[in-house]
Amino acid sequence: MTAAIKGSVGAPNARILSVGAYRPERVVPNAEIVDRINSSDEWIRERSGIIERRWAAADETVVDLAVNAAAIALERSGIAPDQIGMVMVGTVTHPYQTPSAAAEIADRLGAVNAAAVDLSAACAGFCYGLALANDMIKGGSARYVVVIGVEKLTDWVNPDDRGTSFIFADGAGAVVVGPSEEPGIGPVVWGADGSQKNAITMTQSLIDYRDNGGPIFPTLEMQGQQVFRWAVGEMSKAAQRALDAADVSSDDLDAFIPHQANMRITDAMVRALKLPAHVPVARDIAYTGNTSAASVPLAMDHMLETGEAPHGGTALLIGFGAGLVYAAQVVTLP
């Protein structure tokens, strides 16, 4: 006879309890990078909306950035580190194949009872993590989850590449997700299109670099226009599907927080969604650049800190990037 297995029992729902952010100290204005890529402050502002970005110090690691952001989120949540059941880290810039950044981050946070895992979902990493955290808490495999988006993209970008060097930057954002009576995280709308894997990729693999060398260490390369077209065409549809799945009208939103890929992509999505003018839109990219997995929690923290979006308000999130992958959901802000 097959033994009866006792199933896990989770909370009725989950929500974001708190958010924390870490922006590296060094501010890098466009003027500092334009000569190297034969560009101009004007071009970068007009084509991307970026005015300046933050770069981490040489000795500041992905783990350092993440710990700084997550410590703030933990403090704000009032949840003790030893109550955390899972630390999930969206990142594509941790420079070790193994062990994970998450295991080290959990240790540094004092999350001694937590499982830990890195998620490779590029600029959608944070929204993927949020969806998984929601299901873990409802499924009973963790009661409190720390979800982090962190990148030190300056380690993986070629400063001479005109297509990427002005856009990508460094930073970390984190949330603590915990149980709640009411749904605080709506159904996720997500997907992947690996047929477009070359749209954002590395110039070569680390193994190819080891075996064949090459002019430069592997760095990010992006077919900017291809990604731009996909984002504008497909991501507003995904965002609308997330609203529909949560049964929330765009009129009822208190914030729209898309991945900070490019200000023009954000503008196009706002138009395609016919977002009412009263809904505040995250435009953190102007001063933070594109921080991939970190961009959504960084922008969320900024909107709450400046009062642009209300605590407890309803926000539409969407992350999208290399893969190509995406994830969107409606959440209650912490």
Catalytic positions, written as ranges? 123, 259, 290
Separation in Å, CA 86 to CA 112, 124, 174, 244, 307: 10, 19, 13, 29, 30
Residue number with CB closer to ligand UT7 (164 or 332): 164
Give the shortest CB-291-to-ligand UT7 separation in angstroms.
Answer: 9
Please identify which residue in 16, 37, 62, 220 interacts with ligand UT7, judged by CB under 6 A.
37
* Minimum distance from residue 12 beta carbon to ligand UT7 (Å): 35
Which residues, in sequence order, are CB contacts of 301 under 8 Å at separation 6+?
19, 20, 21, 173
Closest CB to ligand UT7 among residues 83, 226: 226
167 binds ligand UT7 (CB under 6 A): yes
Residue 236 sits in the site that holds ligand UT7 (CB under 6 A): no
Q: Is 198 near ligand UT7 (CB under 6 A)?
A: no
* Site size with ligand UT7, rule: CB under 6 A: 22
The answer to the question of residue 166 lying near ligand UT7 (CB under 6 A) is: yes
Query: How far apart (Å, rounded) are the C-alpha atoms in residues 255 and 238?
Result: 17
Q: Which of residues 69-98 bind ligand UT7 (CB under 6 A)?
A: none
Query: Shortest distance, CB of residue 300 to ligand UT7, whole angstroms?
Result: 17
Q: For residue 293, give the nearest of 245, 260, 264 by alpha carbon.
A: 260
Q: Within a 10 A sphere around the Cβ of 289, how many other Cβ atoms?
A: 28
Which residue, among 94, 89, 102, 93, has the nearest Cα to 130 in the 3D structure? 89
The angle formed by the CA atoms of residues 154, 266 and 25, to the nearest 5 degrees, is 35
- Residue in 159, 225, 233, 305 binding ligand UT7, rule: CB under 6 A: 225
- 304-323 residues in contact with ligand UT7 (CB under 6 A) are 321
Residue 63 binds ligand UT7, judged by CB under 6 A: no
DSSP letter at 235 equals I
CA 215 to chain centre: 31
Sort 2 into a burial class: Cβ within 10 Å, 0-12 / 13-18 / 19+.
exposed
Q: How far is the CB of 292 from ligand UT7 (least distance, A)?
A: 6
Residue 197 lies near ligand UT7 (rule: CB under 6 A): no
E strands present in the chain: 13-22, 26-29, 52-55, 86-90, 115-119, 145-152, 170-180, 189-192, 200-202, 220-222, 255-258, 314-321, 325-332
- Joined tokens for residue 99: 């062990």
39 lies in the site for ligand UT7, by CB under 6 A: yes
Q: Closest distance between ligand UT7 and the C-beta of residue 37, in Å? A: 5
Closer CB to ligand UT7, 189 or 222, in the complex? 222
Residue nearest ligand UT7 (C-beta atom): 224
Hey, which residues between 259 and 278 contact ligand UT7 (CB under 6 A)?
A: 261-262, 265
Q: Is 124 in the site for ligand UT7 (CB under 6 A)?
A: no
Q: How many Å apart are CA 303 and CA 275, to the nearest integer? A: 17
* CA-closest candidate to residue 145, choices 176, 116, 174: 176
Q: Tokens 């138009």 sit at which residue?
A: 271
Query: Judged by CB, which is closer to ligand UT7: 100, or 290?
Result: 290
Decide: is 294 part of the binding site for ligand UT7 (CB under 6 A).
no
Size of the chain in residues: 334
- C-beta closer to ligand UT7: residue 70 or 121: 121
Does 285 bind ligand UT7 (CB under 6 A)? Our answer is: no
Question: Of residues 187, 191, 218, 224, which one binds ligand UT7 by CB under 6 A?
Answer: 224
Q: What is the DSSP string of 239-257?
A: HHHHHHHHT--GGG-SEEE
Instruction: Give the interface with ligand UT7 as residue ranges (CB under 6 A).
Output: 37, 39, 43, 47-48, 123, 162-163, 166-167, 200, 224-225, 227-228, 231, 261-262, 265, 290, 292, 321
